[in-house]
Amino acid sequence: MTPVSMKRFSFYGAAMLGAAVVMPSSAPLFADAAPERGIVSLKYLNYQDWQTGDTPLTAGMTRDRIGVQALSLMGMVPIAGKWSLGVTLLEDLVTGASPAYHSSGFPSSVSGASALDLRHAGDLQLTRYFSRGSLSGGLSYSRENDYISRSASLQGNWETEDKNTTFSLGGSFSSDTIDLSSDHVVETKRSDIRQSKKVYSGLFGITRVLTKKDIIQFNFGYSSGQGYYTDPFKEPDNRPGDRENLTFMTRWNHHFDSTDGTAHLSYRYYSDTWGIRAHTLGAEYVQPLPHGWTLTPGLRLYSQCAADFYVPVGDNEKSHPEAATPKPDGAVYYSEDQRLSSFGAVTLGLKIAKNLGRSWLMDMKYERYEQREEWSLFGKGDPGLAAFNTRNFQIGVSREF
């Protein structure tokens, strides 16, 4: 595996287009019903991130980090009016490399190297529909040179007799295998060549139809994982072998008769045993337009505090970006991964869809993400970090049959 892989599984795979199911999905904001038609869709994603700022490595310049190109194929078919079967296949290619620590510096063995990583993934979901609910089971698998992920999930939805309230209950299990026998890991003298990680997750949700124009949802999630969380391509880095987190999410959809548009608002709170507390506010507005067009602008605001064992940028690293900040004396756990620091982030997005007729639909989406330590609303940010930016472009086509 290249230095980019561990980065991708925690950021790109979770936030962008990961195929592996790591937790039961939230119940949709509408009643369950067996689909009458099948659908097939093809999507292409192009992702790039980079850094800017006043650090010695990035001052006065833009420094590219990771680029991703991904192609996904999804299909769903109804079966006998009571079942549906969905399949998703994904291939992504990752180039570039992430910093070995903080936002600057690579170990000499990989400095300037161009990383290349190819991943294949797929998932399968089978759903049985009933008069007042549904039951879904899923399996997923993802593989690259040194990281294999397998997961299984089960979720049930049940409606009240008046069909105004839906209760959801689900659980999932994932098992990952990590191979640390790359050249860089050997040079860091790690002897734990093969590692594993297991994560158990659960979800409980309530969806309520308030009026003809309003639907609200509450989801409560819990996850517990044990195994290898340390990033072997970041030095120094040693993380706890267990992690538990709690999430709470609420969503509200409101339809406007005057414009025929719908607003989607959401809030999510996250807390884990590493000391991270995070808040996410999301808003988007879906506006149908004449001639089959749909316009959806979106905004997402995010803020988190740092993990208990995050090590800020030291004075020596500020003047010598090729040298990592030494770990604190006596510290058992420590990390210079900027994703574990305190920061805030803003995401702006725009999606355009066009109904092409004869059951064809095309859509395009662009998102721009910016992360800054001074935007953190909870906890003190690390002023030594370079600003982190991403852009994400997707285009897709789908057809019902």
Cβ pair 360, 398 in contact under 8 A: yes
Write the pLDDT tens digit of every residue in 49-101.
998 876 655 655 567 889 999 999 999 999 999 999 999 999 999 988 778 88
Q: For CA atoms 77, 79, 81, 82, give the dihedral sign.
A: negative
Average pLDDT over residues 23-32: 55
Would you list the domain boundaries of the chain?
5-400
Quick check: 4 pLDDT over 50?
no
* Secondary structure of the chain as H, E, C letters: CCCCHHHHHHCHHHHHHCCCCCCCCCCCCCCCCCCCCCEEEEEEEEEEEEEEECCCCCECCCEEEEEEEEEEEEEEEEECCCEEEEEEEEEEEEEECCCCEECECCCCCCCCCCCEEEEEEEEEEEEEEECCEEEEEEEEEEECCCEEEEEEEEEEEEECCCCCEEEEEEEEEEEEEEECCCHHHHHCCCCCCEEEEEEEEEEEEEEEECCCCEEEEEEEEEEEEEECCCCCCCCCEECCCEEEEEEEEEEEEEEECCCCEEEEEEEEEEEECCCCEEEEEEEEEEEECHHHEEEEEEEEEEEECCCCCECCCCHHHHHCCCCCCCCCCCCCCEECEHHHCCEEEEEEEEEEEEEEECCEEEEEEEEEEEEEHHHCCCCCCCCCCCEEEEEEEEEEEEEEC
Quick check: 109 pLDDT over 60?
no
Q: How large a percentage of the chain has pLDDT more than 70?
A: 85
Average pLDDT over residues 378-385: 88
Quick check: 193 pLDDT over 90?
no
Quick one: pLDDT at residue 29? 63
Quick one: pLDDT at residue 58? 60
Average pLDDT over residues 371-394: 92
What one-letter code names the amino acid at 232? P
Quick check: 25 pLDDT over 80?
no
What is the rounded distance in angstroms from the CA atom of residue 224 to the CA atom of residue 173? 10
**What class, spelled out in words, does domain 5-400 have in CATH?**
mainly beta
Quick one: pLDDT at residue 114? 53
Average pLDDT over residues 39-51: 96
Write the pLDDT tens digit of every residue in 220-254.
999 999 999 998 878 889 999 999 999 999 999 99
Q: Which of 67-71, 173-177, 186-190 shows the lowest per-residue confidence on average (mean pLDDT)?
A: 186-190
Quick one: pLDDT at residue 54? 65
Q: Which of 180-194, 201-215, 301-315, 319-333 shows the lowest per-residue confidence on average (mean pLDDT)?
A: 180-194
Quick one: pLDDT at residue 182? 57
Quick one: pLDDT at residue 363? 98
Q: How large a percentage of the chain has pLDDT more than 90?
A: 69
Average pLDDT over residues 385-390: 92
Quick check: 23 pLDDT over 60?
no
Quick one: pLDDT at residue 32? 72
Quick one: pLDDT at residue 282? 98
**323: Cα within 13 Å, side-chain hemisphere:** 9
Average pLDDT over residues 161-185: 87
**What is the rounded average pLDDT for all residues in the chain?**
87
Quick one: pLDDT at residue 175? 98
Average pLDDT over residues 189-217: 90
Quick check: 209 pLDDT over 70?
yes
